[in-house]
Chain A
Amino acid sequence: MATLLKIENLKTQFFTSAGTVKAVDGITYSVEEGETVAIVGESGCGKSVSALSILRLIPWPPGKIVEGSIHFDGKDLLSLDEEAMRNLRGKDISMVFQEPMTSLNPVLTIREQLTETLITHFPISEEEASKKALKLLEMVGISDPDRRLEQYPHHLSGGMRQRVMIAMALSCEPKLIIADEPTTALDVTIQAQILELMKDLTKRLGASLIIITHNLGVVARYADRVNVMYAGKIIETGTALDIYHNPSHPYTLALLKSVPRMDLPRQDKLDPIEGQPPDLTRLDDGCSFRPRCRFAQDGCAHSFPDLEAVSEGHFVACFEKDNLKEQEKVAS
């Protein structure tokens, strides 16, 4: 499989009056064609910013991509001019946002919003676009699509709106879809359906998918590969199996332990991660997870560990990754 998206040493910073926020601090990853990649992390770890950076939608001021490169389908996205970038957005790379309730324009009908994307990017007539819109609504499983086309977003439930958002994102048959917490605002009952739908449709279209989430359950089921982010850096990357069965970073381990599990015998208590995520304006040279880490040693304060392989395709940025397992064994 060919590499579709390659991000190298990307740094996105926000220059605020309180100091420079290093929202994304040198991340490197790639997405193969047809692959589903998850980016996992808690709120404010830079996962959404890394996604917006790909589309170059970081608002300046105060935000800016200061370093690194993004190659998509043979093009260097950071050197494209604004118009070329605009043609790419929605057509080659599209995005599904977190808030289906507010991501659709309340004053435009579903038809207007769906056809607008098509007409913007392809030389087709209004009529053809309407036909395509109808097909798209059918494809994302909306009942009675004829009538839905003429309705406004407030006529639709949250789950249906997210389906419409997905239809919009798929309308130009993009090569890459970025879903920024696509199910966070939805009912638990709808979440699985939406994810199933996205997975199914991206597979049919042969598109790649980046799922940004804080929900490890989502990752386990739908992602091929997982990047775990903490404080603007990727601290562990591997296949979903690697991450689940062989978590090698204390943060990943702690994340997995703090998720309620239905398939294991009931524990007394969940094991939360103590403390708060660090202030991104005040990061020092050392490992940013150090203050919350149970395995931290003096050496962790001096420099940030590089990503090193623990097995093939599974990389971890932790000095104590070998000790981690021994201590875990002792503990259990």
Chain B
Amino acid sequence: MAVISESLAEGEYEELVQTKPWLEVTVGLTRQYPLGAFGGVIVVVMIFMAVFADVLTPYDPEENAFEFMLTAPNLEYWMGTDQFGRDILTRLIYGSRTALFVGFSCAFIGAIVGLVLGVASAYFGGRFDLIFQRVMDVFMAFPLIITAMAIVSIFGTGTQNVIIAITIPFIPRCARVVRSSALAIREIPYVDAARALGYTHTRIILRHMTPNVMAPFLIMISAFVGQAILLEASLSYLGLGVQEPTPAWGLMLQGGAEEYAESAPWVAIWPGVAISLAVFGFNLFGDALRDALDPKLRSL
């Protein structure tokens, strides 16, 4: 019977699914997406800086040293010092902690909440979907930075509130993208099959639908990290974000940009470069991820 014919294909199949060593995969991906690999390197360097900040630099990021105020870059202070005599490189390294912490927590919380809400909206459909999408529209009507500023002005400044302020406008953006994918998933018979097997709504949404919209979700997360870093820097620059003396790139820019632009340009230039590179790196990485995960764009 066909049991025999079905098992015949097995041998051929086993050969196809030999897993490649990860190094080979990495090299292959680097060749295929050189820009993405560049972004990936920036991301890895940032994470490395954030993790080993204590080891990488001998200076304290928060302690003032007025005898070294506004020293130009030299061998001892590679990027110079700021108006309080603090080493700029040290503050940049510690600043990557703030940037990554805010960036990742906002991106993950925002995207995960958006993911669940988006899938739920698509799953229940009908009136729930309609009302939910209109609420999301209200949030989407304002640019990211305006919503974030409004929220900070309600809750006050500080790292925790900045995270809340950036996370909230991320939720509808992720929910909307995820919903559109989930609407397609909703129509596939295995969702009905799951209903026919007597699973609860929560189980179907979390276990059966959510894993199937992972591709857009991962892309959203990687894009969100870059955006969150930029938003945090913007809010800090405007004085609405992280507060002194916490080392944060936006704050460093604010402290240096206007007053010392001519006399000590290094105070503003380095944090500016750091912000640009970080956002650039995450965006390149995210784009490559999107291409790699999108079967339509993938070159075979």
List residues 91-141 of chain A with CB under 8 A from any CB of chain B.
Answer: 91, 94-95, 97-99, 102-108, 116-117, 120-121, 141
Please, which residues of chain B bring their CB within 8 A of the CB of A87? 198
Q: Determine whether the beta carbon of A143 is less than 8 Å from that of B212.
A: no
List residues 19-52 of chain A with CB under 8 A from any CB of chain B.
Answer: none
What is the bound-complex CA distance between A87 and B199, given in angstroms?
Answer: 8
> In the complex, how many residue pairs between chain A and chain B have their CB atoms under 8 Å apart?
81
B209-252 contact mask (Cβ, 8 Å, vs A): 1 or 0: 00110100000000000000000000000000000000000000
For B211, give the chain A residue with the smallest CB separation.
A107
What is the bound-complex CA distance between A165 and B208, given in angstroms?
Answer: 16
Contact of A144 with B188 at beta-carbon distance under 8 Å, contacts A89-B197, A105-B194, A105-B212 already known: no
A223 at the B interface (CB under 8 A): no
Q: Determine whether the beta carbon of B7 is less than 8 Å from that of A143.
A: yes
Please, which residues of chain A bring their CB within 8 A of the CB of B6? 143, 157, 159-160
Please, which residues of chain B bring their CB within 8 A of the CB of A157? 6, 9
Q: Determine whether the beta carbon of A120 is less than 8 Å from that of B2.
A: no
In-complex Cβ contact of A97 among B10, B193, B203 (8 A): B193
Q: Determine whether the beta carbon of A168 is less than 8 Å from that of B197.
A: yes
A86 at the B interface (CB under 8 A): yes
Please, which residues of chain A bring their CB within 8 A of the CB of B193? 95, 97, 103-104, 165
List residues 157-183 of chain A with CB under 8 A from any CB of chain B.
Answer: 157, 159-160, 165, 168
Contact of A159 with B189 at beta-carbon distance under 8 Å, contacts A120-B197, A143-B7 already known: no
Contact of A89 with B208 at beta-carbon distance under 8 Å, contacts A105-B190, A143-B3, A144-B7 already known: no
For B125, give the chain A residue with the smallest CB separation.
A59
In-complex Cβ contact of A106 among B10, B195, B212 (8 A): B212
Min CB gap B190→A, angstroms: 5
What is the bound-complex CA distance between A37 and B6, given in angstroms?
Answer: 30
Q: Determine whether the beta carbon of A105 is less than 8 Å from that of B208.
A: yes
Q: Determine whether the beta carbon of A95 is less than 8 Å from that of B126.
A: no
A17 at the B interface (CB under 8 A): no
Min CB gap B14→A, angstroms: 10
A61 at the B interface (CB under 8 A): yes
Q: Determine whether the beta carbon of A117 is less than 8 Å from that of B7.
A: no
In-complex Cβ contact of B198 among A59, A120, A160, A189 (8 A): A120
Q: Determine whether the beta carbon of B2 is less than 8 Å from that of A189.
A: yes
* Residue of B3, B9, B193 ringed by the most chain A CB atoms within 10 A: B193
B22 at the A interface (CB under 8 A): no
Please, which residues of chain A bring their CB within 8 A of the CB of B212? 105-107
In-complex Cβ contact of A91 among B3, B198, B214 (8 A): B198
B18 at the A interface (CB under 8 A): no
B23 at the A interface (CB under 8 A): no
Contact of A57 with B196 at beta-carbon distance under 8 Å, contacts A102-B190, A103-B189 already known: yes
The B interface, classified by DSSP as helix, strand, loop or mixed, is helix
Q: Determine whether the beta carbon of B197 is less than 8 Å from that of A97.
A: no
B1 at the A interface (CB under 8 A): yes
Q: Determine whether the beta carbon of A61 is less than 8 Å from that of B189.
A: no
Min CB gap B120→A, angstroms: 16
Interface size of A in residues (CB-CB distance below 8 Å): 40
List residues 178-212 of chain A with CB under 8 A from any CB of chain B.
Answer: 189-190, 193
What is the bound-complex CA distance between A147 and B199, given in angstroms?
Answer: 26
* Residue of A97, A105, A108 ringed by the most chain B CB atoms within 10 A: A105
Q: Determine whether the beta carbon of A103 is less than 8 Å from that of B190.
A: yes
B200 at the A interface (CB under 8 A): yes
What is the bound-complex CA distance between A143 and B2, given in angstroms?
Answer: 11
What is the bound-complex CA distance between A104 and B13, given in angstroms?
Answer: 20
A146-160 contact mask (Cβ, 8 Å, vs B): 1 or 0: 000000000101011
* Residue of B13, B197, B211 ringed by the most chain A CB atoms within 10 A: B197
B192 at the A interface (CB under 8 A): yes
What is the bound-complex CA distance between A331 and B102, given in angstroms?
Answer: 85
Min CB gap A159→B, angstroms: 6
Please, which residues of chain B bring their CB within 8 A of the CB of A55? 195-196
A78 at the B interface (CB under 8 A): no
Q: Determine whether the beta carbon of A57 is less than 8 Å from that of B3.
A: no
What is the bound-complex CA distance between A78 and B76, given in angstroms?
Answer: 81
What is the bound-complex CA distance between A179 and B265, given in angstroms?
Answer: 75
Q: Determine whether the beta carbon of A90 is less than 8 Å from that of B196.
A: yes
Q: Determine whether the beta carbon of A141 is less than 8 Å from that of B188.
A: no
What is the bound-complex CA distance between A60 and B212, given in angstroms?
Answer: 24
* Residue of B1, B195, B198 ringed by the most chain A CB atoms within 10 A: B198
Q: Determine whether the beta carbon of A88 is less than 8 Å from that of B198.
A: yes
Please, which residues of chain B bring their CB within 8 A of the CB of A89? 195-198
Min CB gap A14→B, angstroms: 14
Contact of A57 with B192 at beta-carbon distance under 8 Å, contacts A105-B212, A159-B2 already known: yes
Please, which residues of chain B bring their CB within 8 A of the CB of A117? 197-198
Q: Determine whether the beta carbon of A98 is less than 8 Å from that of B189.
A: yes
List residues 3-62 of chain B with CB under 8 A from any CB of chain A.
Answer: 3, 6-7, 9-10, 13
Please, which residues of chain A bring their CB within 8 A of the CB of B2? 159, 189-190, 193
Min CB gap B189→A, angstroms: 5
In-complex Cβ contact of B196 among A95, A107, A108, A143 (8 A): A95
Give 13 pairs: A residue, B residue, CB < 8 Å, sorted on A.
A86-B198, A86-B200, A89-B196, A90-B197, A94-B196, A99-B189, A102-B190, A103-B193, A105-B208, A120-B199, A121-B198, A143-B6, A157-B9
**Nearest 5 CB-CB pairings of A with B:** A90-B198, A90-B197, A89-B198, A95-B196, A107-B211
Q: A108-B208, A121-B198 are in contact. List 9 more A-B contacts (CB 8 A).
A: A57-B192, A86-B199, A90-B198, A116-B197, A120-B198, A142-B3, A143-B3, A143-B6, A159-B6
